[in-house]
């Protein structure tokens, strides 16, 4: 299965980190030069947002962070390449992921993937995900479940060529940040229509999701510099609130799971 890496030209350390992991597993990949939203002029940034108002299924529009813009355009470039290629399934990776040794076996062939699958999530998520009660497939001793709720992160996934074509063909007015357009069941015009599977335990996780000191290299966010710190603070403040606790109990009873790695 062909693998694509999204990597900014300036991020040589990330490239070396990713290459070392994939070389160790004997996995070939094609690097795609990522788009850096911070280099866009104010005019180009404004034009991008005017075409993509993020107004679908919302009472008010959302603003694109420059990092989100660059991330979306980078994934979009890969989707276009996949849509125009001959491979039925391809894998897409961001450059800050830690990987399981089993990843090499997973990517060795796509013959094990049912033809009706649109996307397979290879990584963990920052939120609990509602999954099908039972696995729909088992491969290399890992279970795959159908995703039935919004999930986050677009650092590692397998995508069908026809799905990539659907994403590329969407009018710009429906464009969203990469993980939103792929996995958000209310804010994406397409996500709820897709057949998305999730490996549990996952094969990959982004560096920022691992505890410090646990083989992390502590890469800073390429979306916005303070995004990770804001998320940590928000989580810390609300962690033990009654509302958070009630939501956690409800989700546990409704089949929501934390994806392990």
Kind and range of the H or E element at 94? strand 89-94
- The more confident residue out of 184 and 229 is 184
Distances, alpha carbon 260 to alpha carbons 203, 214, 256, in Å: 9, 15, 13
Say how far apart CA 40 and CA 229 lie, in whole Å. Answer: 24
Residue 61, classed as helix, strand or coil, is coil
**Sign for the pseudo-dihedral over CA of 154, 80, 67, 170:** negative
- Residues 130-138, mean pLDDT to the nearest whole number: 96
Give pLDDT, residue 216. Answer: 60
Distances, alpha carbon 184 to alpha carbons 17, 57, 58, 179, 243, in Å: 29, 11, 13, 7, 22
- The more confident residue out of 71 and 250 is 71
Write out the two tokens for 37: 């939203």
In sequence order, the 6+-apart residues with CB closer than 8 A to the CB of 3 are: 22, 27, 28, 29, 30, 90, 91, 92, 93, 107
| Mean pLDDT score across all residues of the chain | 90
Say how far apart CA 123 and CA 97 lie, in whole Å. Answer: 9
Q: Do 84 and 169 contact (CB within 8 A), yes or no? A: no
Kind and range of the H or E element at 90? strand 89-94
In sequence order, the 6+-apart residues with CB closer than 8 A to the CB of 156 are: 91, 92, 93, 94, 97, 99, 121, 122, 123, 203, 204
| Domains of the chain in sequence order | 2-257 (3.90.550)
Write out the two tokens for 78: 């890969």
Residue 104 above 90 pLDDT? yes
Place of tokens 């070389």: 23
- The more confident residue out of 249 and 125 is 125
Query: What pLDDT digit, counting tens, does each position of 21-55 carry?
Result: 999 999 999 999 999 999 999 999 999 999 999 99
Residue 129 above 50 pLDDT? yes
- Residues 162-182, mean pLDDT to the nearest whole number: 98
Say how far apart CA 138 and CA 207 lie, in whole Å. Answer: 26
The backbone torsions φ and ψ at residue 154, rounded to the nearest 5 degrees and listed phi first, read: -130, 40
């Amino acid at each position: 299965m062909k693998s694509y890496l999204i990597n900014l030209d300036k991020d040589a350390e990330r490239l070396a980190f990713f290459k070392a992991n994939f070389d160790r597993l004997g996995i070939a990949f094609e690097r795609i030069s990522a788009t850096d939203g911070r280099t866009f002029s104010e005019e180009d940034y404004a034009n991008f947002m005017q075409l993509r108002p993020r107004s679908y299924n919302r009472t008010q529009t959302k603003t694109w962070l420059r990092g989100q813009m660059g991330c979306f355009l980078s994934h979009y470039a890969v989707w276009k390449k996949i849509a125009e290629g001959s491979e039925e399934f391809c894998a897409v990776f961001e450059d800050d992921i830690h990987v399981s040794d089993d990843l090499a076996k997973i990517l060795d062939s796509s013959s094990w993937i049912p033809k009706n699958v649109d996307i397979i999530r290879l990584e963990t998520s920052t939120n609990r995900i509602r999954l099908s009660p039972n696995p729909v497939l088992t491969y290399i001793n890992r279970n795959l479940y159908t995703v039935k709720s919004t999930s986050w992160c677009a650092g590692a996934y397998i995508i069908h060529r026809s799905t990539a074509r659907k994403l590329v063909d969407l009018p710009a007015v429906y464009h969203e940040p990469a993980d939103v357009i792929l996995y958000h069941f209310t804010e994406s015009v397409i996500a709820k229509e897709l057949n998305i599977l999730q490996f549990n335990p996952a094969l990959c996780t982004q560096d920022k999701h691992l505890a410090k000191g646990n083989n992390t290299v502590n890469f800073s966010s390429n979306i916005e510099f303070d995004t990770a710190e804001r998320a940590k603070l928000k989580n810390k403040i609300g962690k033990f609130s009654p509302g958070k606790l009630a939501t956690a109990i409800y989700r546990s009873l409704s089949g929501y799971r934390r994806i392990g790695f």
